[in-house]
């Protein structure tokens, strides 16, 4: 798989974005309440916008309250994040 990624600039960029998204999540994970951490996963990056994948509406509602804190923390750490979007994963637990 690494050879395929190395031979394709598109796949290499995708792998880079996945790694960056995971790094961003690690950077904010400690700011999430313990019971919310397992309901949130790193999602796609689209320019200056980042998406978090959330299991359910209740978790998303709690997470929405934290978005300004999460975004500010990422910006202080050097990431250009103009917005954090939430995508609710339906039917997953």
What pTM was estimated for this model as a whole?
0.85
Token couple for 6: 């190395």
pLDDT computed for residue 65 by the predictor: 96
What tens digit of pLDDT does each residue of 29-84 get? Answer: 999 999 999 999 999 999 999 999 999 999 999 999 999 999 999 999 999 999 99
Per-residue CA distances from 13 to 7, 16, 83 (Å): 11, 5, 21
**Which of 2-6, 17-21, 44-48, 88-92 is predicted with the least confidence, judged by mean pLDDT?**
2-6
């Amino acid at each position: 798989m690494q050879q395929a990624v190395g031979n394709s600039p598109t796949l290499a960029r995708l792998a880079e974005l996945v790694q960056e998204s995971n790094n961003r999540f690690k950077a904010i994970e400690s700011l999430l309440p313990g019971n919310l951490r397992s309901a949130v996963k790193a999602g796609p990056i689209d320019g200056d916008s980042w998406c978090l994948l959330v299991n359910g509406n209740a978790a998303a509602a709690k997470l929405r309250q934290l978005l300004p804190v999460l975004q500010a923390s990422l910006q202080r750490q050097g990431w250009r994040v103009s917005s954090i979007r939430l995508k609710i994963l339906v039917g997953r637990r």
